[in-house]
Structure 1
Amino acid sequence: MSAQAQTTPGAVAAPGIATGPEAGAPVLTVDGLTISVRQDGGEAVLVDNLSFALGRGETLALAGESGSGKSLTSLAIMGLLAPGLRVSGGAVRLRDTDLTALPESALRGLRGNRVAMIFQEPMTSLNPILTIGAQLTEAIRAHEPVSKSDARVRALEALKAVRLSQPEKRMTQYPHELSGGMRQRVMIAMALALEPDVLIADEPTTALDVTVQREVLDLLRDLQREHGTAIILITHDMGVVAEMADRVVILKQGQMVEVAPVRDLFAAPKKQYTRDLLAAVPRLGDGSSAQALPEPVSQTPIASLSEVKVRFDIRGGILSRVTHRVHAVENVGFNVYPGETFSLVGESGCGKSTIAKALVGLVPHLGRIELNGHVLGGLSAQDQKALRRDVQIVFQDPMAALDPRMRVGDLVAEPLLIHGIGSSESRRATARELFDRVGLSPDWIDRYPHEFSGGQRQRICIARALALRPKLIICDESVSALDVSVQARVLDLLKSLQADFGVSYLFISHDMAVVENISDRIAVMYLGQIVEMGTRAQVFGNPQHSYTKRLIEAVPVPDPSFERPLRPRLTGDIPSPIYSLGEQPERLLLKNIGDGHLVAVG
């Protein structure tokens, strides 16, 4: 639960600077910060006259949509603005030192030592060719005159402080050998190894599963309590803001819209933009009041899976023989019916995306998969191509899914071209029609992907998926990287398209609040197997499996007054779907506890 912000007696703030609960002078003061970018016609202001102060042991959240200036502010504090960007006004003071006036050599000594930063994607921040121990040791020795052996001892202590399992082993491993949550813990250990005064956490949990997110947030809170570190938390997740922040600064297009203690902001937001931002946050419970649809027994399913298995061999040794096997999907079965949204939820590595790839023929599988009455496997190339017209997929990252060299109108019409449907003129007309249908101007079809925002690019991907009028669209984490307001608009669009076209969705996500708000039926996966399956009301209103309960309990609640019950921290190594050759996971049997609510019993 967030600490209630208080005014410190005797603390004096600079005019116009928002202050928080601190003893004495602020640790960090941002005063009238203005960031500009050089353009042909002069300069454009990206962050305009931003001011706030940060006290010792305080967490200040910078919240707002993409493009609001959150990350730019953090980069300006660190002195890491990209070429072409500059601080054109104001000051950033660390105690009495103006960081904007320091040369690069002086800033290099402060980064990591007194001001540290955790980025959203740890894999881009860690060197893939150095071990974890080498990177931690290097970071410590870069700032303090200690021997290599002493630095290794401190590095090991840092890994223990962030509660990383088997820290001695992790010191010898490379980044790719660790899970996303482990890598983020390493980044936190690296940031806190030198006990900085200020820690900037830029979307530190956005890409993490809900249970790993819970562990990282608890860890940050514990470390802050132990070291008194001041934290600037940058996020668009208002649930995380409610649980972590003492005060909140709301940004929109580079300007401060509102600043307030977290409880005041959530209880009585003063600005319409803040109210809209909070209203767009998906909340657990919002979807349960809607009438849950029973499983239709008289309809033929669009997709049917039975005893589906997907396994990958791991080779090793001099002869490169198969020594282990990844059991990515084990004995999975479910149906997706016309016009319904069936969701798969679970942590990374549980097999959700592997099932999606098997459905569209991108990975080989065992067992039986039927699409629109046709069994996958054994079909001719021509028949497979025809069958794929019925199934389309929308991926998590729209920029990676769109060819940057092609105009978006051509991208949307490309499926029609591949399947030889229509003339050039009719395909272009279809693209314009689909643009209009997903809420984009048809006049934009000659633009390129980089000219659109993230939410607009995802709409383009949805338009392309609709081009062939498929019966099933697979949405693989398709809204997880979007801002809450953009996410809400995309989810509304998906529901509207479903009502108009009767399309079915296989919705894959680890965001339980989103899943509850959009789903008719849900399957919860753990290590390649389904542990619980039922209607939305059954799974969220009456969860039976311990893993389902843990997923739901871990969801950040956008309410600062919410008291999270104390739960024991998870210890030990994360279970793995990798088994030695000849071994395999224990099969889980699903028991019907009533009205089609299935729960694993063994």
Structure 2
Amino acid sequence: MSEPLLSVRGLTVSVRDRGVLRPLVSDLSFDLRAGEVLAIAGESGSGKSITSLALMGLLPNNVAVTSGQMLLDGTDLARLSEGQMRPLRGSRVAMIFQEPMTSLNPVQTIGTQLTEAVRAHQLLSRKAARVAAIQALRQVRIPEPDRRMGQYPHELSGGMRQRVMIAMALALRPALLIADEPTTALDVTVQREVLDLLRDLQAQTGTAIILITHDMGVVAETADHVVIMQAGRKVEDGTTPQVFAAPRAPYTRDLLAAVPRLGAGAERAAPLPPEAAVPVARLTDTSVHFDIGANFLGRPTHRVHAAVGVSFDIRPGETFGLVGESGCGKSTIAKALAGLVPHQGRIDVAGQTLSDLGAQARKDICRDIQMVFQDPMAALDPRMKVGDAVAEPLVIHGIGSPAERRARTEDLFRRVGLTPDQMARYPHEFSGGQRQRICVARALALRPRLIICDESVSALDVSVQARVLALLQELKTDFGVSYLFISHDMAVVENIVDRLAVMYLGQIVEMGTRDQIFGNPQHPYTQRLLDAVPIPDPTRKGRPYLRPAGEPPSPVRRIGDPAIRVALTDIGGGHLVGLAQA
């Protein structure tokens, strides 16, 4: 067997807090050989990202390697000064960060940033560096690389920006590539393309990859070896088939058990709620558009067709899912339903048409619809105690006396698995899963008929995600509340929804019960979404996936050029399928 490219021995990384050293990573050891993929998996706070920052020499000032070795081709990275580390960073060790928009300079073009990275480590002319940058973009399968060189980060999609980061990292052909949650924020189809891309490039270049993730499906499809971390310590390691087939540590078994799996939803299939005379919400031919651009008279020239002719209803006690990639119109429909964006067509809530309501009636109907957003930290005021945040809707609507509001708030905290004494704390004192529970409690304060969950579990670890989903199901039983569940994670959707609609380019292309969509997907786009879901089974690694050819279509059209409408056909039992192809 060849010598390891990277050998980590007894690595301990500590933070200095008020003069006391506290370990963040303790006694971590592993080996990585050229051409291999090592996954470091675990939940938030397990020490995964701190390990990657230590390898890159990018630890914060109050954090340091206090013992151990990080040997890259025999050179101990832990003993290098910043001046010695700088020439290695990028040329020998490169890193792809989780959020490409924060890693790219928003005021510089893609080309400027790529050529700067190349010229920082190689003595090349601007022209030669540009050629190398274009070749790197072509290598990561970005169409029209010459044109992309002149674009800014905000002009690219999330998947394209992540490809630029991969191109930047691979342009110098590093021996070691560290990918820190490179696909967490991406749609399932884009995630699949990025993972396939990393696997292809690794095979071509022989680059060793450290993949940091909390998604065990991604681990199964990508990694050769796995290190499982918990609270800064390694609790298990081995080859990927070994860890998945016979996990030794209880924590690993819990982590694998919490992973949502396609097909598991059928085991808990519940009878569909009976059709009600008055749905909680009904959308009829609802459209939302935004005008952009300007001609010399200042008039808009183009229109973004964010939602086109959307129709569905949500029954009492039902969980209705909306799925699709970013930009397909899911969140736009949610905002229209909540009265946050203007719309055409008709939206009825509890039998009342939104467009017919006055200001006071609109405020009153807000009691019937509440939202739980994707990022709980952004949804909570950092300067407000969480008890006050949960009670605030009651104050706004003038419900109850102070004593009654406090009593209801305490009850809500208990309902979501928190304690009343935690009401006096601030958002930063809670974990991500606890903050999301607080947002659920706030949404329940007014006892709404419908809660809109907009990607409300996509940023959570799998075990926390499982607890929040179980809480939503429990609250549905206790309160009879209905949910509009918006997600791009098909495995999560299958495990929670009763019916769902698949959206593509602002329109519904398929709709039906959970069993109809997942058991008999008819539209090509639905099939593509399901094929792209990572499967937590290493024996399925390398399964074929048909990548879409050419540029993705755009919802932006010239004013006066209407979007082509998709006609839905009932193929039996209320299973509606669009005739237009994705």
Rate the CA distance shift 1:231–1:564 in 2: closer, same or farther, 3 A: closer
- Give the letter aligned to residue 398 of structure 2: G
- 2:400 aligned with 1:409, yes or no? no
How far residue 84 of structure 1 moved from its aligned partner, in angstroms, is 1.1
User: Aligned ranges for residues 353-502 of structure 1 at < 5 Å?
Assistant: 353-502=331-480
**What is the aligned counterpart of 2:277 among 291, 299, 306?**
299
Aligned-pair CA distance for 1:319: 3.1
3-state SS in 2 of match to 1:393? strand
Q: Secondary structure at the match of 1:561?
A: helix
Q: Is the 8 A contact 2:221 2:542 kept in 1?
A: no
Q: 1:254 to 1:563 in 2, by over 3 A?
A: closer
Contact 1:50-1:255 at 8 Å conserved across structures: yes
Per-residue CA distance 1:474-511 (angstroms, 9 max, x = gap) = 00000000000000000000000000000000000000
Whichever residue aligns with residue 152 of structure 1, its letter is R
SS of residue paired to 1:413: helix
2:262 and 2:494 in contact (8 A); partners too: yes
Alpha-carbon distance between aligned partners in 1 of 2:296 and 2:132, rounded to the nearest angstrom = 37
Deviation, 1:361, is 1.0
> Following the alignment from structure 2 to structure 1, what is the Cα–Cα distance between the partners of residues 529 and 273?
24
State the distance in 1 between where 2:500 and 2:38 align: 36
Deviation at 1:572, TM superposition (A): 1.6
The SS at the match of 2:508 is strand
Aligned to 2:306: 328
After TM superposition, give the deviation of residue 565 of structure 1 in Å: 3.8
Tell whether the 8 Å contact from 1:302 to 1:338 is kept in structure 2 after alignment.
yes
After superposition, give the CA deviation of every residue in 1:363-390 in whole Å (9 maximum; x if it has no partner). Answer: 1000000011111124221111000000
User: For 2:355, what is the secondary structure of its paired residue?
Assistant: coil
What's 1:556 paired with?
A: 534
> Distance in 1 between the 2:102 and 2:483 partners?
32
Q: Report the counterpart of residue 223 of structure 2 in structure 1.
A: 245
Residue-by-residue CA offset, 1:20-69 (whole Å, 9 max, x unaligned): xxx2x211111111111111251111100101111000000000010000
Displacement, 1:317? 3.5
Task: Check the 8 A contact 2:115/2:133 in 1, yes or no.
Answer: yes
Secondary structure, aligned partner of 1:288: helix
8 Å CA contact retained: 2:321, 2:493: yes
The CA deviation string for residues 252-271 of structure 1, in whole angstroms up to 9 with x for no partner, is 00000000100000000001
Structure 1's 285 and 512: CA in aligned 2 closer, same or farther, altered over 3 A?
same
Secondary structure of 2:219's counterpart equals helix
Query: Which structure 2 residues correspond to residues 72-91 of structure 1 after superposition, within 5 A?
Result: 72-91=50-69
Please tell me whether the aligned partners of residues 288 and 540 of structure 1 are also in contact (alpha carbons under 8 angstroms): no
**What CA distance in whole angstroms lies between the structure 1 residues aligned with 2:15 and 2:556?**
49
Query: Is this contact kept in 1: 2:531–2:545, CA < 8 A?
Result: no
- Correspondence list, 1:97-108, <5 A: 97-108=75-86
Confirm whether residue 518 of structure 1 aligns to residue 496 of structure 2: yes
What SS class does the counterpart of residue 253 from structure 2 fall into? helix
Aligned residue in 1 for 2:209: 231
Return closer, same or farther for 1:291/1:299 CA change in 2, 3 Å cut-off. Answer: farther
Q: Secondary structure at the match of 2:229?
A: strand
C-alpha contact 2:310 2:508 (8 A) present in aligned 1: yes
SS in 2 for 1:316: coil
Aligned residue number for residue 186 of structure 1: 164
Query: Which whole-Å deviations, capped at 9, do the CAs of 1:264-307 have from their partners, x for residues lacking one?
Result: 00000001110000000000000023335446334310000000
Residue matched to 1:13: none
1:403-461 per-residue CA deviation (whole Å, 9 max, x = no partner) reads 00000000000000110111222212221111111001211000000000000000000
Q: Tell me whether 1:509 sits opposite 2:505 in the alignment.
A: no
Q: Which amino acid aligns with 1:487?
A: Q
- Is the contact made by 1:392 and 1:465 (CA closer than 8 Å) also made in structure 2? yes
Contact 1:292/1:536 (8 A) holds in 2: no
Residues 156, 167 of structure 1: 8 Å contact kept:
yes
* Distance apart, 1:562 and its partner CA: 1.1
Separation of aligned partners in 2, 1:77 and 1:290: 44
Per-residue CA distance 1:215-260 (angstroms, 9 max, x = gap): 0000000000000000000000000000100010000000000001
2:184 aligned to which of 206, 209, 225: 206
- In structure 2, the residue matched to 1:48 is 26
Relative to structure 1, is the Cα distance of residues 577 and 101 closer, same or farther in structure 2, using a 3 angstrom cutoff? same
- C-alpha distance after superposition, 1:54-89 (max 9, x if no partner): 100000000001000000000010011112111111
562-571 or 399-408: which moved more? 562-571
Cα pair 1:293 1:535 within 8 Å, conserved: no
Q: Does the 8 A contact of 2:39 with 2:223 survive in 1?
A: yes
Q: Which residue of 2 aligns with 1:154?
A: 132
Q: Counterparts of 1:585 and 1:537 in 2: how far apart (Å)?
A: 30
Contact 1:416 1:467 in 2 (8 A): yes
User: Equivalents in 2 of 1:259, 1:600: separation in Å?
Assistant: 47
Partner of 1:581: 559
- Report what 2:195 is aligned to: 217
DSSP-derived class of the 1:518 partner? coil
Deviation at 1:574, TM superposition (A): 1.1
Q: Which sits farther off after the overlay, 121-130 or 377-386?
A: 377-386
| Structure 1 counterpart of 2:572 | 594
Contact kept in structure 2, 1:165 and 1:571, CA below 8 Å: no
Q: Is the 8 A contact 1:327 1:528 kept in 2?
A: yes
Query: Aligned AA for 2:78?
Result: T
Alignment-derived partner of residue 16 in structure 2: 38
Q: Which amino acid aligns with 1:547?
A: Y
In structure 2, distance between residues paired with 1:41 and 1:138? 40
Match of 1:457, SS state, is: helix
AA matched with 1:360: A
1:523/1:532 contact within 8 Å kept:
yes
Counterpart of 2:58 in 1: which secondary structure?
A: coil
Residues in 2 aligned to 1:234 and 1:563: alpha-carbon distance in whole angstroms: 18
Alpha-carbon distance between aligned partners in 1 of 2:172 and 2:298, rounded to the nearest angstrom: 43
Alpha-carbon offset, residue 566 of structure 1? 2.5
How do 1:333-348 and structure 2 match up within 5 A? 333-348=311-326
Contact 2:222 2:541 in 1 (8 A): no
The 2-side partners of 1:574 and 1:393 are apart by: 30
Aligned residue pair count: 580
Deviations 1:296-347 (A, max 9, x none): 3343100000000000000223432210000000000000000010000000
User: What amino acid sits opposite 1:312 in the alignment?
Assistant: F
For structure 1, which segment, 150-159 or 372-381, has the greater mean C-alpha deviation from structure 2 after superposition? 372-381
Deviation, 1:110, is 1.0
Q: What's the counterpart of residue 536 of structure 1?
A: 514
Write the distance in 1 (CA, Å) between the matches of 2:10 and 2:517: 49
How many angstroms apart in 2 are the aligned matches of 1:428 and 1:189? 54
Distance 1:511 1:368 in 2: 29
> Residue type matched to 2:494 in 1?
E
Distance in 1, Cα, partners of 2:542 & 2:209: 21
